[in-house]
Copies of this chain bind each other. A is one copy, B any other.
Amino acid sequence: MCELLAMSANTPTDLCFSFTGLTRRGGQTGPHKDGWGISFYEGKGVRSFHDADASASSRLAEVVQSQPIKSEVAVCHIRQANVGQVCLANTHPFIRELWGQYWVFAHNGQLASFRCPPGFYEPVGTTDSEALFCDILNHLRSHFNRDTPRDQLVQSLVRLSRAYACQGIFNLLLSNGDWLFTYCTTKMASITRRAPFGPARLKDADVTVDFESETTADDIVSVIVTEPLTSDEQWDIYQPGEWRLWRKGEVIHSG
């Protein structure tokens, strides 16, 4: 399987602390050593880093850990391959353009027998995950348009997610840069940090941060993960079948 990490914030915020924790699980404190990737929205642009190697020993991951890249939405994935060989083309997050926006997708789970019906978007690699992403975008493109209200898109994403969840494990992160949709079939947790900020300690590395010194009183920053990353904070665990739509650090819809 894999692990997911995402951030939604109301002000550009770096993800160094959480990313440092997660990357340890890619070959050191965890078995997810078959590649990793992270995408940061910066305005309408997306900055991505991908590697088909173990994140715990990746030079590029080290750079991303130490270089604060500030973003309001970020999506990250470390991979333990099941469907599809270990190669760059099979490394999440996957990115496509729809309606003049970049959409970023990462998936934890397995729908081994899933095939994407022919459509506009096609997988480049051989993972079930990228096929699912293309299927979602083909569905959105053929049923909706750029002016479709967000709620209607989200209801459609919920219906699609439930259908996929009937076929296997489908923990999802999907963003268009404005909002972040998250769906849990087995494992997902989140934490929202806001004033008064305090310290936090990673589970997977001997690293502590004092968020107080890195934030302002108005900041709201949420982190969504497969497994909680810190040992001294209270994480909010998703129920199976639960979805949450995040925007600017807060849940704006859920079900």
Contact = CB atoms under 8 A, between A and B. Distances in A.
Interface of A: 42-52, 59-60, 63, 67, 87-91, 95-97, 99-102, 120-125
A50 B39 CA distance: 12
A91 B63 CA distance: 21
B88 A125 contact: no
The 10 A-B pairs of least Cβ separation, nearest first, read: A45-B88, A45-B89, A100-B122, A44-B89, A42-B88, A44-B124, A43-B87, A63-B63, A100-B124, A43-B89
A88 B48 contact: no
6 contacts: A42-B89, A44-B124, A60-B67, A63-B63, A101-B124, A102-B124
- Count the copies: 2
Nearest to A69: B60
Interface of A, secondary structure class, is mixed
B97 A45 contact: no
Nearest to A96: B97
Nearest to A63: B63
A91 B47 CA distance: 10
B96 A123 contact: no
A50 B43 CA distance: 13
Nearest to A99: B122
Contacts of A99: 122
A60 B97 CA distance: 25
B120 A46 contact: no
Contact of A122 (B46, B51, B97, B122): B97
A124 B103 CA distance: 11
